[in-house]
Amino acid sequence: MNDELLEEEQVGWWENRNKNTALILTFVTMLVAKLLSMMLPARFFYDNRRILGMSIGDRGVKAWSGSYETAANVFRSINVLGLTTLTQWSWILGLALTVLIFFMILRLPEPDMPQVVFLLACVGLLNIYIFDIGKDVIQFAFFFAVYLVLLLPLQNSMVKILLAAVILYFESKVFREYYILIAALVVAMYCILVMFRQAKKLSPHGKIVAMIVSMYLLVCVVMVVSRVVMPGAYQQIMTVRSDSLDGRSSDVANATLINNWIGGNNTTSLPLFLINYLINALRMMLPFELAVRSLQYLPFFFFQLAVTVYLAHLFGKISEIEDEVQLLAVAVFLGYLLASVIFEPDFGSWVRHESATFPVLHLLVMSRNQRIREWKVSHARHAELPRGSHSAVSKG
- The average confidence (pLDDT) of the chain is 88
Residue pair 131/98 in contact (Cβ under 8 Å)? The answer is: yes
Instruction: For 122-152, write each residue's pLDDT tens digit.
Output: 999 999 999 999 999 999 999 999 999 999 9
Relative orientation angle of helices 86-106 and 135-150, to the nearest 10 degrees: 20
Which comes out higher in pLDDT, residue 164 or 392? 164
* CA atoms of 194 and 199, how far apart (whole Å): 9
Q: What is the dihedral of CA 209, 214, 215, 221, to 10 degrees?
A: 150
pLDDT value at residue 249: 53
User: Any idea which of 26-30, 167-171, 286-290, 291-295 has the lowest mean pLDDT?
Assistant: 291-295
Helices (H), the chain: 2-15, 17-37, 46-56, 67-78, 86-106, 113-125, 135-150, 157-174, 179-198, 204-229, 231-248, 270-285, 288-293, 298-316, 324-343, 347-355, 358-365, 372-384, 390-395
Which position has the higher pLDDT, 242 or 353? 353
**For residues 13 and 311, which has the higher predicted lDDT (pLDDT)?**
311
Whether the pLDDT of residue 350 is over 90: the answer is yes
Crossing angle of helices 135-150/157-174, nearest 10°?
160
Q: How far is CA 222 from the centre of its chain?
A: 21
DSSP-derived 3-state class of residue 85: coil
Q: What is the pTM of this model?
A: 0.90
Residue 6 above 60 pLDDT? no
* Candidate from 83-97, 322-336, 374-388 with smallest mean pLDDT: 374-388
